[in-house]
Structure formats: structure tokens, C-alpha cells
Amino acid sequence: MTPFDNTAIRSIRNILAAAISPELRKKFVELVRNQRLQPHFGAAFMLWLVGLVELIQKMGGQKLDPRFWMGIAILITAYGGMRVFRLNPSLGRAASKAPTPVEQLISRVQLNGVAVYPSAIENSGDGCVIVGPAGVYAVAVKARKVFGSQTIQFGKRNKLVLGGRIADSRPLRQAQTLAQKLGEQLRGVLRTRIPVKPLVVFLNDWRVDRPLAGSEVAVMNEHELEQLLAAHSSILSPGEIAEVSACLGGFAPATAG
């Protein structure tokens, strides 16, 4: 056996080992579950089905029926039109009127007797400010879908590790920036200094590990946020809450980042 043959065999083995690895299988499952890619997978499946039926008919010596292929073509066209070109406009209008996950969170948070204001800081993403007896919170809201280990961990260099694989430092930076800018604006108006606490809230079913020692930004899921606002001891008096709310009432919504 020549050295070229050995190299080719090793390459084939490496490809097969990568193809059957658990990591690749997980990525394949995530791709299949991706709603944006499902129309393309559906069209590809229909084409494979057409080819398989044609092969079986040829092997059986049957004469191809054009009506069958016309029916398959009509199904593919109708499916692609409904999913890609959105031929049903009423569904699109209904979806646009539905509240976003952030709006749903704000509605639930307001049931705890707190005031919620849009962020006044540009490029802060989906942020808001929560004012209540528990204090003033500069909140960066993230609606990332759950994947991988479904756990958010605190990594090195001020980063969050999502699902055990993706490291992202932007949520912590956004919350810190929002809290810093908001604190500066309030100090120029309020008579007493009221601290602004940076907070990152992840929607959906994320689990958040305990933060590292010295972490300045709290990270939690939406259920933990509701518990925090409902059970936390009072820090601000009614007069301080009214004073902060009066300052925030004139803030304009932030530009989504």
C-alpha cells in the first residue's frame, strides 16, 4: 500500500469520525429544528421523495404517470408559497399585533407594583428601567432561544457562556452602560443619590448559575426577576420612587441594537 493510499484512508476515517461525533449530531438536530430552515428542508425532502418514487417505478418497469408528477409539483409550489412568500396576509397581521416577549415580561413585572420605563440610552438593545420599592434597575432584556445545556454560566473576562458553548460579553456591557448613563442623568436631577443596579434578564427557560465573586451585574431569568421584585425588602421610600418616576417619565424609547 502506497503512502498516498494510507493518507486517503486516514482522511476517510477522520471524516467518518467527525460525522458520527455527538457534537455534530447536536448541530444537525438544531438545524432541523430551526424554523427558518424548515421550508428548505421540506422542499428538499419532497424532491428526494420524487426521485425515490421515480426510481422505484423504473425498477418495476412501470410507465411514469405525468399526473402524479404534476400533483407533486403543485404540493411543492403551495408549500413554498405559504411558508416563504406568506400568501396568507391575515396570519402576518395577527403575528404583528401579538405582544413581543419583552412586552409580555413588562406586563407581568408591572403586576408587582413597580413602574417600567423604556431605556433612554441609544444602542442599548431591548432595555428598560424598573423603579419600585426594591430599587432602580437598569435592565438589559435578552430573548435568546434555549439551546445546548440550557444553562448560562459566568465565564472569564466578564463573559457569559450560553448553552455551554457560546461566550458573549455584550449583555453585561449593555447593562453596565445603561446603569452608568442612567445614574449620571439621575444625579443631575435628584436631590439624593440613588444607586442604579445593572441587571441582565434572559427570557424563555434559561437556567442561570451563580455569578463569580466580584461580579457587578446580576443575571437571572424572567421568573427570578418576578421573585426579586415581589419578595425584596423595601429600599426606596414612596417619595423617592415618585421623584425617580418623574425624572424617567420624559425619557424616549431606546433605539434597538
- What does the pLDDT look like over 55-74, one tens digit per residue? 777 777 766 666 666 677 77
Residue 100 confidence (pLDDT) above 80? no
Q: How far apart are CA 53 and CA 30, in angstroms?
A: 29
pTM to 2 decimals? 0.58
Q: What percent of the chain is predicted at pLDDT more than 90?
A: 12
- Return all residues near 49 (Cβ < 8 A) that are at least 6 apart: 72
User: Which of the four pLDDT bands, split at 50, 70 and 90, describes residue 211?
Assistant: confident
How large is the average pLDDT for residues 41-54? 71
Q: How far apart are CA 164 and CA 181, in angstroms?
A: 31
- Return all residues near 196 (Cβ < 8 A) that are at least 6 apart: 136, 137, 138, 179, 182, 183, 186
Query: What's the pLDDT at 252?
Result: 37
User: Which of the four pLDDT bands, split at 50, 70 and 90, describes residue 151?
Assistant: very high
Look at 43 and 121; give whichever has higher pLDDT.
43
How large is the average pLDDT for residues 72-100? 62
Residue 124 confidence (pLDDT) above 90? no
Q: Which of 9-23, 86-100, 147-161 has the lowest mean pLDDT?
A: 86-100
| 204 contacts 145 by C-beta, under 8 angstroms | yes
User: Which of the four pLDDT bands, split at 50, 70 and 90, describes residue 158?
Assistant: confident
User: Which of the four pLDDT bands, split at 50, 70 and 90, describes residue 219?
Assistant: very high
Residue 88 confidence (pLDDT) above 80? no
Q: How far apart are CA 108 and CA 245, in angstroms?
A: 19
Q: Which of 47-51, 110-114, 167-171, 195-199 has the lowest mean pLDDT?
A: 47-51
Fold of 101-248: Trna Endonuclease; Chain: A, domain 1 (3.40.1350)
Look at 135 and 249; give whichever has higher pLDDT.
135
Q: Which of 46-60, 89-103, 119-133, 227-241 has the lowest mean pLDDT?
A: 89-103
Numbered ranges of CATH 3.40.1350 in the chain: 101-248
Residue 233 confidence (pLDDT) above 90? no
